[in-house]
Structure 1
């Protein structure tokens, strides 16, 4: 008992020694002026720009055009002047959401889950924390990574992602402690947990480590990310990757923070929980009353048990292998575990649908309705009965990846429906009895949700799993959101694969390739021949399509008589070609904040929006100068070519 008490004193110090977040550079030697920053580029990361000012690239985040960089104050100022740089942000510190020092399943009604055998099986959960004790007898860790080597001490990852603090192991037990004869059982004991060690033995990390952890979770196709860590700062780098994860379909759950007061009358929710794409979780006691330290605010979404929670703990830190801890750090994993049960029960649901169902099923606490203390209320199991309805929807497939769905059974009970593919909405307010889709080798799960007065009836949803044996591309799967568009264009002989069996969706599209694909889609004459452009040789694979596009008034080239066939095509150039080729009508104006009237492609970009071919980015931009990939160009071309994709 004495040894355990000593342990808790150490944990309290973690909470109070670091009452606020400091810049990561404060841990550097006093005579060192170089600091870590997150540099955002307008387009792809340009390492030469950083090297020109004398900076050092530590880590790249290509998916958001950003990098962790070491810079002196002068180098920072010089870099900010570069036209290629969008913003230079600080590399802030993060730490575990404070804990103190056990109970939980009856309050979330776990015994009444339906079906009773739900266990989170097959659901991949990333625990972005201080690591997890890989040798703990009550835990099974499926994998993970340590990103602490991105800090200033390369030895921090010497024990891989094993936990040197205790916090991450405690969180892991709440989520997925084994259903065995020892210790405790987690909310989702058969969920696959992955340890991302982004916080050190003192419970501290930085923007860089959290961003690297999020990047790993995205690249390794996690279903849920648990973030029982907090910072007071609205960190742009962390937000960008959270948005990217959410966009990919990952559900993110985070501790609201432990900065509340007794009255609960101030907005004290911390980041990342405060971001809109994150479920912010507050903590309650055994009587379902908010604990005084639990942060409050309008962004609190759900409440969960967080007072004296008994869970797993590293055996080298507590000989029993278990400990009691208190805080929103303990509440968040209850929601994460519950989300895993929902995802197992409704495998076709998107992260947005799972989130909505968690809100709808929550037990309302406090004042009626959503409030700053409990959000929608205490997280609860879903006890709605489900039936096996895979045989209700009929379908046919062929070797080219064409899938014909027969939805007559759905229309017998409703006039319209929403159709989801692997959790992603692909048809809104549909009413056709037959729908055609496209896929590559592998599995696709469809969910058809009836609409009653425009409202989804999730309890009446019908599901279907389709398995295709062909076509096969080594770098394309049905989990890629753009795959259906690429397979459609391949089926139409518009988009060709490579000899090695690759589709290369992440490769940039040249202007020549873009015109050739468009020419095939429109049935233009592709016979190789001389063109009006001095830099397009008659023997070029795209020469015939380029000249045909000129003859059709689809393109004109540059004033110097060139076409620049080997340069990547931009989103603005793509818009101009598609609108002219498909004769799309004039669109509304002022849709995107970065598209001005003086810009080439202004009208065509808005025509694409009017035709429901694009909605732009979530931040209200279109990014007209962004270079296109084979994947993104295929999406636009397929939508222009076939209205069913819009």
Structure 2
């Protein structure tokens, strides 16, 4: 009889472990926004609903909304995902604390919000945001676990509600632009001239008859063949001093001109932007970016031409240009 009970318990443990596998494709903005919507909800021992939460009841409730089932107890939640160091914390990670006057081991869990802040169910003020290194919680920090994962074409820092989401998902799924090993996309990171050449040529698939001949682009560079192809096609040119400046960031105006050339987009006649007069050097290309936009990213009264083109902005422009040139 004892042997049968042992087998049953072992089977239950296996089933329990399997049920806590992370399965979410949510972004960490989705998770933290949802988590912060409960600020002020009171603390309740054993609470698992918005009528009142304890710490692990709160984290379980938040992640369940995104398809992730966590163990009920904070100490078990610590073993539910992938351990991460404090230096590698990402928004949406579970953070754990230990040691109180009456209990040792893991005693508290919260959700990391970024910028050294986390949110949790506290006995004193219910759901609230605190400093990870603050006077009370800092000395009690125990460790962190990552339970958020990303499906192909999905990224933890790109919300499905973002107007850039369709473009980023389409381009990354097609291998035109890539994310990073930690399931992030870095949407606000700037695009360099070398990166732009490579991304555009992954769409156009052009081949140069010879090397680009720029003094600052060695043939051994990862972007050399694409720079040569894009230059030969007359899409991105170099500078008067014979350089390409591969690491220089690209402005929104420069991006518009390059993409109009690359995809041979028809020129539009009038500007819809108050900050782009008809005499502006990139006027036609910028107006074209607005006219082909299917995402609302280029909507509004201003284009801000001298702002740097970010990865999300550039991806959206490429996506629109590809659709417009079909």
TM-score (ref. length: structure 2): 0.51
Aligned in 2, Cα 1:629/1:134: closer, same or farther, shift over 3 Å? same
| Per-residue deviation, 1:632 | 1.8
Query: In structure 2, what is the Cα distance between the partners aligned to 1:640 and 1:619?
Result: 19
In structure 1, the partner of 2:207 is: 525
In structure 2, the partner of 1:584 is: 265
Instruction: Note if contact 1:509-1:569 (Cα within 8 Å) is conserved in structure 2.
Output: yes
Query: In structure 2, what is the Cα distance between the partners aligned to 1:616 and 1:633?
Result: 11
In structure 2, the partner of 1:547 is: 228
**1:642 match: secondary structure:** helix
2:175 paired with 1:493: yes
Which structure is richer in relative contact order (CA contacts within 8 A, separation 6 or more)?
A: 2
Instruction: Note if contact 1:486-1:634 (Cα within 8 Å) is conserved in structure 2.
Output: yes
Rg larger in structure: 1
In the alignment, structure 1 segments of 5+ residues that lack a partner are: 1-122, 144-190, 192-218, 221-315, 317-440, 443-468
Instruction: Note if contact 1:587-1:608 (Cα within 8 Å) is conserved in structure 2.
Output: no
* 1:183-205 deviation line (CA, Å, top 9, x unaligned): xxxxxxxx9xxxxxxxxxxxxxx
| Per-residue deviation, 1:593 | 0.9
2:197 aligned to which of 515, 520, 523: 515
Query: In structure 1, what is the Cα distance between the partners aligned to 2:37 and 2:158?
Result: 24
* 1:573-632 deviation line (CA, Å, top 9, x unaligned): 110111111111111223111113443311110122233367666650001111122222
2:64 paired with 1:126: no
In structure 2, the partner of 1:536 is: 217
Query: In structure 2, what is the Cα distance between the partners aligned to 1:635 and 1:477?
Result: 14
Structure with greater proportional strand content: 1
| Per-residue deviation, 1:503 | 3.3
| Per-residue deviation, 1:505 | 2.8
Instruction: Note if contact 2:292-2:324 (Cα within 8 Å) is conserved in structure 1.
Output: no
| Per-residue deviation, 1:570 | 1.4
Aligned in 2, Cα 1:490/1:133: closer, same or farther, shift over 3 Å? closer
In structure 2, the partner of 1:450 is: none
Query: In structure 1, what is the Cα distance between the partners aligned to 2:206 and 2:245?
Result: 20
In structure 1, the partner of 2:52 is: 140
- Size of the alignment, in residue pairs? 202
Query: In structure 2, what is the Cα distance between the partners aligned to 1:628 and 1:576?
Result: 12
Instruction: Note if contact 1:584-1:611 (Cα within 8 Å) is conserved in structure 2.
Output: no
Instruction: Note if contact 2:214-2:242 (Cα within 8 Å) is conserved in structure 1.
Output: yes
* 1:199-219 deviation line (CA, Å, top 9, x unaligned): xxxxxxxxxxxxxxxxxxxx9
Aligned in 2, Cα 1:625/1:141: closer, same or farther, shift over 3 Å? farther
* 1:400-444 deviation line (CA, Å, top 9, x unaligned): xxxxxxxxxxxxxxxxxxxxxxxxxxxxxxxxxxxxxxxxx87xx
**2:37 match: secondary structure:** strand
Query: In structure 2, what is the Cα distance between the partners aligned to 1:525 and 1:640?
Result: 20
Query: In structure 1, what is the Cα distance between the partners aligned to 2:253 and 2:175?
Result: 25
Instruction: Note if contact 1:594-1:621 (Cα within 8 Å) is conserved in structure 2.
Output: yes
Instruction: Note if contact 2:271-2:283 (Cα within 8 Å) is conserved in structure 1.
Output: no
2:166 paired with 1:484: yes
2:252 paired with 1:575: no
Provide the alpha-carbon RMSD of the alignment. 3.8
| Per-residue deviation, 1:498 | 3.7
In the alignment, structure 2 segments of 5+ residues that lack a partner are: 1-33, 56-64, 66-90, 93-123, 125-148
**1:496 match: secondary structure:** coil
Instruction: Note if contact 1:505-1:630 (Cα within 8 Å) is conserved in structure 2.
Output: yes
Alignment of 1:4-19 (within 5 A): none
Instruction: Note if contact 2:274-2:301 (Cα within 8 Å) is conserved in structure 1.
Output: yes
**1:600 match: secondary structure:** coil
Aligned in 2, Cα 1:142/1:473: closer, same or farther, shift over 3 Å? same
In structure 2, the partner of 1:560 is: 241
| Per-residue deviation, 1:471 | 5.3
Aligned in 2, Cα 1:484/1:612: closer, same or farther, shift over 3 Å? closer
2:291 paired with 1:610: yes
* 1:60-100 deviation line (CA, Å, top 9, x unaligned): xxxxxxxxxxxxxxxxxxxxxxxxxxxxxxxxxxxxxxxxx
2:280 paired with 1:599: yes
**1:489 match: secondary structure:** helix
**1:487 match: secondary structure:** helix
**2:186 match: secondary structure:** coil
**2:244 match: secondary structure:** coil
Aligned in 2, Cα 1:491/1:126: closer, same or farther, shift over 3 Å? closer
TM-score (ref. length: structure 1): 0.27
Query: In structure 2, what is the Cα distance between the partners aligned to 1:142 and 1:471?
Result: 35
| Per-residue deviation, 1:638 | 1.2
Alignment of 1:343-422 (within 5 A): none
Query: In structure 2, what is the Cα distance between the partners aligned to 1:516 and 1:484?
Result: 21
In structure 2, the partner of 1:244 is: none
**2:249 match: secondary structure:** coil
**2:317 match: secondary structure:** helix
In structure 1, the partner of 2:306 is: 625
Query: In structure 2, what is the Cα distance between the partners aligned to 1:520 and 1:510?
Result: 15
Alignment of 1:108-507 (within 5 A): 126=37, 134=43, 139-140=51-52, 470=152, 473=155, 475-476=157-158, 478-499=160-181, 501-507=183-189
